[in-house]
Chains A and B, each alone.
Chain A
Amino acid sequence: MRTYEVMFIVRPDMTDEDLDRLLSTLETQAGTAGGSVKSVERMGKRRLAYEVRTFHEGTYILLTVESGGAAIHELERRLRVTEPVIKFLTVRVDEEQARLAKLKEAQAARRRGAAPAPAETGGGETAAVTA
């Protein structure tokens, strides 16, 4: 199961309920294709860095989806044909997150192994001495 971040922009003159409807459609569609939407983040209306399809502003939405590749393919196809969506970008994040987790693990292990927890016990001892 891979984790993807799908960020897309909808036109600024879209109403909230239309947006809700669109999001629920996408969620159900992702579910039927074998994935799950982990989180939906509405990043609000922002000014675009350049003109996209005659719009200068747009509402940004960020979906975090956990699914296989085929489901994402289908999701992207949907986004492409949906009229209010003017741009989208999909980024695969599970490999990066795995790398970060491994780094954090290595750092924590190194800190635990090299110095006998100077932050925890050392601090406690000095505090007892000074107290």
Chain B
Amino acid sequence: MADDNVRTTAPEAVTSATDSPSPTTSAPEAPASRPPRAGGRPGGPGGRERKYFRRKKVCKFCVEKIQAIDYKDYRLLGQFVAESGKIVPRRLTGVCTPHQRRLSVAIKQARNIALLPFGARA
């Protein structure tokens, strides 16, 4: 898994035509269209602490430009609710803060009107 970008071996980072005999990691002389390291985008699962930005997960609502989150739309809301019924934190779903707040309100409204459960089914 791409969890360490200390040493990327030549065949992966560099195109096969231009192979440098030295195994040290160095920027290839190939045109700078491809980053020298493949670890620019951490593909690890959420939960690993990273210094820099987590994977480029975007807010679904910002992308689709959904302004209002309706409590009646339980199918959409259900995507942000875990199996146990808990609201999934935004660091896992990638939702931005204002939308997460509205989403949270909508989920709680839906729970009150029995469209979503409060807890897992017994």
Q: CB within 8 Å of B: which residues of A?
A: 7, 9, 48-50, 52, 58, 62, 87-89, 91, 96, 100, 103
Contacts and interface: CB of A to CB of B under 8 A. Distances in A.
**Interface size class, chain B:** 10 to 19
Given A7-B113, A87-B113, 17 more contacts: A7-B72, A9-B114, A48-B114, A49-B111, A49-B115, A49-B117, A50-B114, A50-B117, A50-B118, A52-B114, A58-B114, A87-B112, A87-B114, A89-B109, A91-B109, A100-B67, A100-B68
Interface in B95-117: 109, 111-117
B71 interface: yes
A48 B113 CA distance: 9
Contacts of A52: 114
18 contacts: A9-B114, A49-B111, A49-B116, A49-B117, A50-B117, A58-B114, A62-B72, A87-B112, A87-B113, A87-B114, A88-B113, A89-B109, A89-B112, A89-B113, A91-B71, A91-B109, A96-B68, A100-B67
Interface of B: 67-68, 71-72, 109, 111-118
B103 to A, nearest CB: 14
Residue from the set B115, B117, B118 with the largest chain A CB neighbour count within 10 Å: B115
User: Looking at chain A's contact residues, is the secondary structure mostly helix, strand, loop, or mixed?
Assistant: strand
Nearest to B106: A91
Task: List 7 tightest A-B contacts by C-beta distance, closest first.
Answer: A49-B117, A48-B114, A89-B113, A49-B114, A50-B117, A49-B116, A89-B112
Contacts of B116: 49
Contacts of B111: 49
Given A7-B72, A49-B111, A89-B109, A103 B67 contact: yes
Contacts of B112: 87, 89
B2 to A, nearest CB: 39
Nearest to B78: A49
A9 B67 contact: no
A50 B117 CA distance: 6
B68 A9 contact: no
